[in-house]
Chains A and B, each alone.
Chain A
Amino acid sequence: MEIVGRSITRVDAVAKVKGTAKYVDDHFVPGMLHAKAFRSTIANGWVKSIDVSKAKVLPGVVAVITYEDVPTHTFPTAGHPYSKDPSHQDVADRNLLTRRVRYVGDEIAAVIAVDELTAEKARQLINVEYEEYAPVLTAEAALQPGIPEIHAGTGNVLGRGGYEVGDMAEAVAESDHTFVDEFSTQVVAHCAMENYSAYAYMEENGRIVVVSSTQIPHICRRIVGQALGIPWGRVRVIKPYIGGGFGGKQDTVVEPLVAFLTTKVHGRPVKMELSREESFISSRVRHPFQFRIETGVTKDGTLSFRNLEAISLNGGYASHGQSIANNCGTKFRQQYRQKAIKYSCKTLYTNMPAAGAMRGYGVPQAMFVMESHLDDIARALDMDPVEIRLKNIPETGHKDPLNGIVALSNGLKECLVKGKELIRWDEKKAAQANQTGTKRRGLGVACFNYASGTHPVGLEVAGARIVMNEDGSVQLQVGATEIGQGSDTVFSQMVAETIGIPLSMVHILSEQDTDISPVDLGSYASRQTYITGMAVRKAAEEIKAKVLEYAWGMTDIPAQVMDIVDGWIVYKHNGEKITPLIEIALDAHTDVVHAKPFTADVTNNARVNALAFGCTFVEVEVDILTGKVEILEIYNIHDSGTIVNPTLAEGQVHGGVSMGLGYALYEQMLFDPKTGKPLIHNLLDYKLMTALDTPEIGAHFVNTFEPTGPYGAKALGEPPAITPAPAIRNAILDATGVKFNDLPMTPQRLIAKFQAEGLI
Chain B
Amino acid sequence: MYDIARYEEARTVDEAVALLAANPNARIIAGGTDVLIRIREGHQPSAELVGIRHIEELSKIELRSDGTLSIGAAATFSRISKHSLITHLVPALGEAVETVGGPQIRRVATIGGNVCNGATSADSASTLFAFDTVLQIQGPEGVRLVPIREIYRGPGKVHLGQAEVLTAILISPENYNGFGGHYIKYAMRKAMDIATLGCSVNCKVGTGNIVEKARLAFGVAAPTPIRCPGAEALVEGKPFSAALVDDFGKAAAAEINPRTSWRASREFRLHLAEELSKQALVRAFIKAGGKVQ
Contacts and interface: CB of A to CB of B under 8 A. Distances in A.
Q: Is any CB of A less than 8 Å from a CB of B in the complex?
A: yes
Interface stretch (A146-154, A243-251, A748-756): A748-756
Contacts of B42: 120, 124
A729 to B, nearest CB: 18
Contact of B3 (A117, A689, A751): A117
A15 interface: no
Given A626-B272, A751-B268, A752-B268, A679 B188 contact: no
Given A679-B262, A748-B268, A626 B188 contact: no
B144 interface: no
Interface in B107-151: none
Contacts of A683: 192
Nearest to A680: B262
Contacts of A431: none
B265 interface: yes
A546 interface: no
A626 B268 CA distance: 10
A621 to B, nearest CB: 15
Given A115-B1, A751-B271, A752-B268, A690 B188 contact: no
Interface string B206-247: 000000000000000000000000000000000000000000
Given A116-B1, A626-B272, A747-B188, A687 B264 contact: no
A424 B90 CA distance: 45
Contacts of A755: 271
Interface in B1-30: 1-3
Interface string A107-130: 000000001110011001000000
A625 B275 contact: yes
7 contacts: A115-B1, A666-B188, A679-B262, A683-B192, A684-B193, A687-B193, A693-B190
Nearest to B102: A690
Interface in A258-298: none
Interface in A660-682: 666, 670, 672, 679-680
A647 interface: no
Interface string A501-533: 000000000000000000000000000000000
A319 B204 CA distance: 62
A742 to B, nearest CB: 15
A666 B196 CA distance: 14
Contacts of B1: 115-117
Interface in A719-757: 746-748, 751-752, 755
B174 interface: no
Interface residues of A, number: 28
B271 A690 contact: no
A692 interface: yes
B191 A692 contact: yes
B188 A684 contact: no
A685 B263 CA distance: 9
B189 interface: yes
Nearest to A690: B191
B267 interface: yes
Given A116-B1, A117-B3, A687 B271 contact: no
Contacts of B262: 670, 672, 679-680
A566 to B, nearest CB: 47
B190 A684 contact: no
Contacts of A692: 189-191
B79 to A, nearest CB: 22
B268 A693 contact: no
A690 B189 contact: yes
A121 B188 contact: no
B165 interface: no
Contacts of A672: 262
A692 to B, nearest CB: 4
A562 to B, nearest CB: 59
A117 B46 CA distance: 11
B105 to A, nearest CB: 11
Contacts of A626: 186, 272, 275
A685 B196 CA distance: 11
- Nearest 5 interchain pairs by C-beta: A692-B190, A117-B1, A748-B268, A690-B191, A679-B262
B188 A687 contact: yes
Interface string A621-654: 0000110000000000000000000000000000
A188 to B, nearest CB: 14
Contacts of B264: 748
B193 to A, nearest CB: 7
B74 interface: no
Given A116-B1, A693-B189, 18 more contacts: A121-B3, A124-B42, A625-B275, A626-B272, A626-B275, A672-B262, A679-B262, A683-B192, A684-B193, A684-B194, A687-B188, A690-B102, A690-B192, A692-B190, A746-B188, A747-B268, A748-B264, A752-B265
A459 B188 CA distance: 43
B272 A690 contact: no
A684 B191 CA distance: 10
A690 B190 contact: yes
B186 to A, nearest CB: 7
Contacts of B2: 117
Nearest to B272: A626
A326 B175 CA distance: 65
A379 to B, nearest CB: 27
Contacts of B191: 690-693
Contacts of A121: 3, 45
A687 B268 contact: no
Contacts of A746: 188
Interface in B76-114: 102
A666 B265 CA distance: 16
A621 B1 CA distance: 45
A748 B265 contact: yes
B68 to A, nearest CB: 35
A11 B293 CA distance: 59
Contacts of B267: 752
Nearest to A760: B271
A689 B192 CA distance: 9
A752 B275 CA distance: 14
Nearest to A671: B262
Contacts of A685: 194, 263
Contacts of A751: 268, 271
A683 B275 CA distance: 28
Contacts of A689: 189
Contacts of A693: 189-191
A672 to B, nearest CB: 8
A240 to B, nearest CB: 24
Interface in A27-51: none
Nearest to A673: B262
Interface in A604-627: 625-626
A123 to B, nearest CB: 10
Contacts of B272: 626
B275 A684 contact: no
Interface in A222-236: none
A164 B25 CA distance: 70
Contacts of B190: 690, 692-693
Nearest to B42: A124
Contacts of B192: 683-684, 690
Contacts of B102: 690
A687 B189 contact: yes
Contacts of A670: 262
B188 to A, nearest CB: 5
Nearest to B188: A687
A679 B42 CA distance: 18
Interface string A59-96: 00000000000000000000000000000000000000
Most buried by B among A670, A692, A748, A751: A748
Contacts of A687: 188-189, 193
Nearest to B46: A121
Contact of A666 (B186, B189, B268, B275): B189
A690 B194 CA distance: 14
A101 B42 CA distance: 23
